[in-house]
Amino acid sequence: MNKVRWTMALMGVVLAFALWGHSWHGHAKSHESPPANVLPQWPWVSGGFAQEKPHFGSVPFPTKTIADSNLPQGQRLVIQPGRMGTDFWVNGTNKVIFPPIPQIVALGTAPVHVITINGVKYSYDRVFTALTTAYNGQFSMNGPWGAVAAWDGLPLHQGDVAVDPQVIPLGTYLYIDGFGPARAVDTGSAIFGDHIDIFFPESAQKIAEYGIQFHKVYVLTSRPPNYHG
């Protein structure tokens, strides 16, 4: 009985090898070399297998420049950062898997004007009348973070102002008529539109006396020479 089982098992192994060999040769013959302009499906490429190791590559992103009449002439601002794409290479042929995302850069076209005040020249591209108020370093005027700038986290000092960043981007230099050079570094829950809150290291009484005032504000295109913030 055991002899019969061993004989049948041996015949099964021989038959399996025979069928496997037939399947291998038939499969290899059925795969012809793909056209040169079509990415072969690895590993079945010309010659049976890939002749070089498949690998991924990087696809550089293009840069698109658009004109922006709200930016000073000559200034550039990256609106959308670019991102490299990814392609797959095998036997000198590649296929893009993830296309690159273009970088979009705004190029300013707004004319730059110059005004001289007390012998100092200021270059600006926009001027408007702002409602101005004042605040100091008290907790009640700054919240739990204290008197620190929202822009860089540094302590506030005279010359710093809070703005609506949708109107005046943080980091922008200003000249406030009747006050002097300033820089937009802070924000506030009550600051929106053409409202500017000026920081003064003064007492609460002095801040209250400031009240509400209206001043002409010049949006500068560069750091003023007499700004010491």
> CATH no. for residue 93?
2.20.230.10
Q: Which pLDDT belongs to residue 30?
A: 44
Question: How far apart (Å, rounded) are the C-alpha atoms in residues 121 and 8?
Answer: 103
Query: Which pTM value belongs to this model?
Result: 0.56
For residues 89 and 125, state if they share a domain. no
Domain extent for 72 = 55-110
* Structure confidence by residue, pLDDT tens digits, 177-224: 999 999 999 998 889 999 999 999 888 899 899 999 999 999 998 899
Question: How far apart (Å, rounded) are the C-alpha atoms in residues 197 and 189?
Answer: 11
Q: Look at 194 and 23; give whichever has higher pLDDT.
A: 194
Query: By three-state DSSP, how is residue 14 classified?
Result: helix
Among 229, 209, 211, residue whose Cα is nearest residue 220: 229
Please enumerate in sequence order all residues whose Cβ is within 8 A of that of 90, keeping only pairs 6 or more positions apart, or say none. 39, 40, 42, 45, 50, 52, 54, 55
Q: Answer whether residue 203 is part of any domain.
A: yes
Q: Answer whether residue 178 is part of any domain.
A: yes
